[in-house]
A and B are shown apart, each in its own frame.
Chain A
Amino acid sequence: MTRFLARRLLNYLVLLALASFVAYILAAWQFNPLENLLSRNPRPPEAVIEAKRLELHLDKPLLVQFGLWASGVVQGDFGTTVSGQPVTDELWRRVGVSLRLLVLGSVIGTVAGVVIGAWGAIRQYRLSDRVITALSLLVISTPSFVMATLLILSALGLNSAFGVQLFEFTGETSPDAVGGAWNQFVDRLQHLVLPTLTLALGGMAGYSRYQRNAMLDVLGQDFIRTARAKGLTRRRALFKHGLRTALIPMATMFAYSFAGLFTGAVFVEKIFGWHGMGEWFIQGLNTQDINIISAIVVFAGVTVLLAGLLSDIIYAALDPRVRVT
Chain B
Amino acid sequence: MTEPVTTESSTTAKSGVDVASFASRRTLVLRRFVRNKPAVVSIAILVLLFIGCYALPPLLPYSYSDLDYFALQQPPSTDHWFGTNALGQDLLAQTLRGMQKSLLIGVCVAFISTVIAATVGTIAGYFGGWRDRSLMWIVDLMLVVPSFLLVTIVVQRTKGDIVWMIVLLSVFSWMISSRIVRGMTMSLREREFVVAARYMGVSNTRIILRHIIPNVASIIIIDTALNVGIAVLAETALSYLGFGVQPPDVSLGTLIASGTPSATTFPWLFLFPAGALVLIIFCANLIGDGLRDALDPSSKALRRRKARK
Residues on B with beta carbons closer than 8 Å to the beta carbon of A145? 237, 240, 256-257, 260
Task: Judge if A152 is at the interface, Cβ distance under 8 Å.
Answer: yes
The chain A residue with its CB closest to the CB of B307 is A125
Taking CB atoms and an 8 Å cut-off, the chain B residues in 248-305 that contact chain A are 256-257, 260, 263-264, 267, 270, 274, 277-278, 281-282, 284-286, 289, 299, 302, 305
Task: Judge if B143 is at the interface, Cβ distance under 8 Å.
Answer: yes
Residues on A with beta carbons closer than 8 Å to the beta carbon of B281? 140-143
Task: Judge if A18 is at the interface, Cβ distance under 8 Å.
Answer: yes
Q: Which of A23, A30, A152 is in CB contact (< 8 Å) with B149? A: A23
Number of interface residues of A (CB under 8 A): 52
Task: Judge if A45 is at the interface, Cβ distance under 8 Å.
Answer: no
Among the interface residues B141, B153, B274, B281, which one has the most CB atoms of the partner chain A within 10 A? B153
C-alpha gap A282/B240 in the complex (Å): 12
Residues on A with beta carbons closer than 8 Å to the beta carbon of B229? 141
Are the C-beta atoms of A304 and B146 separated by less than 8 Å? Answer: yes
Task: Judge if B144 is at the interface, Cβ distance under 8 Å.
Answer: yes
Residues on B with beta carbons closer than 8 Å to the beta carbon of A296? 149
Contact with A along B225-253 (1 / 0, CB 8 A): 00001000100110011010000000000
Are the C-beta atoms of B147 and A149 separated by less than 8 Å? Answer: no
Residues on B with beta carbons closer than 8 Å to the beta carbon of A267? 237, 240-241
Task: Judge if A301 is at the interface, Cβ distance under 8 Å.
Answer: yes
Residues on B with beta carbons closer than 8 Å to the beta carbon of A141? 229, 278, 281-282, 284-285
Interchain nearest-CB distance for B239 vs A (Å)? 11
Task: Judge if A38 is at the interface, Cβ distance under 8 Å.
Answer: no
Residues on B with beta carbons closer than 8 Å to the beta carbon of A301? 144-145
Are the C-beta atoms of B141 and A18 separated by less than 8 Å? Answer: yes
Residues on B with beta carbons closer than 8 Å to the beta carbon of A125? 306-307
Residues on A with beta carbons closer than 8 Å to the beta carbon of B270? 149
Contact with B along A8-29 (1 / 0, CB 8 A): 0000100110110011001100
Interchain nearest-CB distance for A173 vs B (Å)? 22
Residues on B with beta carbons closer than 8 Å to the beta carbon of A49? none
C-alpha gap A266/B152 in the complex (Å): 12
Number of interface residues of B (CB under 8 A): 44
Q: Which of B141, B147, B153, B237 is in CB contact (< 8 Å) with A15? A: B141
Contact with A along B194-233 (1 / 0, CB 8 A): 0000000000000000000000000000000000010001
Residues on A with beta carbons closer than 8 Å to the beta carbon of B307? 125
Taking CB atoms and an 8 Å cut-off, the chain A residues in 207-241 that contact chain B are 213, 216-217, 219-220
Are the C-beta atoms of B236 and A300 separated by less than 8 Å? Answer: no
Task: Judge if A297 is at the interface, Cβ distance under 8 Å.
Answer: yes
Q: Which of A31, A152, A266, A308 is in CB contact (< 8 Å) with B263? A: A152
Are the C-beta atoms of B154 and A153 separated by less than 8 Å? Answer: no
Contact with B along A66-108 (1 / 0, CB 8 A): 0000000000000000000000000000000000000000000
Contact with B along A260-299 (1 / 0, CB 8 A): 1011001100110000000001100100100001001100
* Known contacts A26-B154, A137-B282, A152-B263, A143 near B145 by CB under 8 Å: no
Contact with A along B141-161 (1 / 0, CB 8 A): 101111111101110110000
C-alpha gap A53/B43 in the complex (Å): 55
Residues on A with beta carbons closer than 8 Å to the beta carbon of B152? 281, 285
Are the C-beta atoms of A217 and B153 separated by less than 8 Å? Answer: no
C-alpha gap A30/B153 in the complex (Å): 7
Residues on A with beta carbons closer than 8 Å to the beta carbon of B156? 30-31, 285, 288
* Known contacts A141-B282, A285-B243, A124 near B154 by CB under 8 Å: no
Are the C-beta atoms of B267 and A153 separated by less than 8 Å? Answer: yes
Are the C-beta atoms of B263 and A149 separated by less than 8 Å? Answer: yes
Taking CB atoms and an 8 Å cut-off, the chain B residues in 122-168 that contact chain A are 140-141, 143-150, 152-154, 156-157
Are the C-beta atoms of A259 and B146 separated by less than 8 Å? Answer: yes
Residues on A with beta carbons closer than 8 Å to the beta carbon of B157? 30
Interchain nearest-CB distance for B160 vs A (Å)? 14
Q: Which of A30, A137, A259 is in CB contact (< 8 Å) with B147? A: A259
Are the C-beta atoms of A23 and B264 separated by less than 8 Å? Answer: no
Task: Judge if A156 is at the interface, Cβ distance under 8 Å.
Answer: yes
* Known contacts A30-B157, A285-B156, A293-B153, A138 near B277 by CB under 8 Å: no
Are the C-beta atoms of B149 and A137 separated by less than 8 Å? Answer: no
Residues on A with beta carbons closer than 8 Å to the beta carbon of B150? 22-23, 26, 297
Interchain nearest-CB distance for A41 vs B (Å)? 22
Are the C-beta atoms of B144 and A23 separated by less than 8 Å? Answer: no
Residues on A with beta carbons closer than 8 Å to the beta carbon of B154? 26, 30
Task: Judge if B176 is at the interface, Cβ distance under 8 Å.
Answer: yes
Besides the contacts A26-B154, A140-B285, what 9 more A-B pairs have beta carbons closer than 8 Å? A30-B157, A31-B156, A141-B278, A143-B277, A146-B277, A149-B270, A271-B260, A281-B149, A285-B153
A-B contacts, 29 listed (Cβ < 8 Å): A16-B144, A19-B141, A30-B156, A137-B282, A141-B281, A141-B282, A143-B240, A143-B278, A145-B260, A146-B277, A146-B278, A149-B274, A216-B306, A220-B306, A259-B143, A259-B144, A259-B145, A260-B146, A262-B149, A263-B237, A266-B148, A266-B241, A267-B237, A282-B241, A285-B152, A293-B153, A297-B145, A300-B145, A304-B144
A residues within 8 Å of B by Cβ?
12, 15-16, 18-19, 22-23, 26-27, 30-31, 124-125, 137-138, 140-143, 145-146, 149-150, 152-153, 156, 213, 216-217, 219-220, 256, 259-260, 262-263, 266-267, 270-271, 281-282, 285, 288, 293, 296-297, 300-301, 304-305, 308
B residues within 8 Å of A by Cβ?
140-141, 143-150, 152-154, 156-157, 176, 229, 233, 236-237, 240-241, 243, 256-257, 260, 263-264, 267, 270, 274, 277-278, 281-282, 284-286, 289, 299, 302, 305-307
For the complex of A and B, list the 8 residue pairs with the smallest distance between their C-beta atoms, beginning with the closest: A141-B282, A141-B281, A19-B145, A259-B146, A263-B148, A146-B274, A15-B144, A262-B146
